[in-house]
Amino acid sequence: MSNPLSVLPDLITPLEQARKQQGLTYQALALASGLTPLAVRQALQGLTSPRITSVVALAQVLGLEVVIVPREVARGLQFGARSEAARVMTRVERLQADTAERDT
């Protein structure tokens, strides 16, 4: 089993990017989320491991959603634009692709 903290950057990076894109200070984000400025800054700089409730609160303020998906689906997802190669196929698309391969 991998180290649970190894996914922390994947969780925090989109939050920090959204904060910067929206021009919010740590103070403003703290005020809107109900967290302390110190907790927000330390969490988004990766200095501490934030509680899931803190992550959800920050995400809500930033217009993001925290979603838990199966690992195989997560591997196909990328933050921001997804490339065609990384796109997750539905079961129907997978069946169509398999059928097309067999017909060729």
Evaluate whether 55 touches 11 at the Cβ level (below 8 Å): yes
Query: Do residues 2 and 38 share a domain?
Result: yes
According to the model, what pLDDT value does residue 57 have? 97
List the structure tokens of 76.
């196909």
pTM, entire model: 0.68
Query: Do residues 12 and 47 share a domain?
Result: yes
Mean pLDDT of the chain: 84
The residues, ordered by sequence, that sit 6+ positions from 9 with a Cβ below 8 Å of its Cβ are: 46
Domain span at residue 102 reads: 69-104
CATH number where 60 lies: 1.10.260.40
Model confidence band, residue 59 (pLDDT cutoffs 50, 70, 90): very high
Query: Do residues 76 and 59 share a domain?
Result: no
Q: How many CB atoms lie within 10 A of CB 2?
A: 6
Averaged over 31-42, what is the pLDDT? 97
Model confidence band, residue 88 (pLDDT cutoffs 50, 70, 90): low
Query: Do residues 45 and 83 share a domain?
Result: no
Look at residue 31 and give its three-state secondary structure: helix
Model confidence band, residue 8 (pLDDT cutoffs 50, 70, 90): confident
Query: Do residues 61 and 18 share a domain?
Result: yes
Query: Do residues 29 and 54 share a domain?
Result: yes
Query: Do residues 48 and 87 share a domain?
Result: no
Number of domains into which the chain is organized: 2
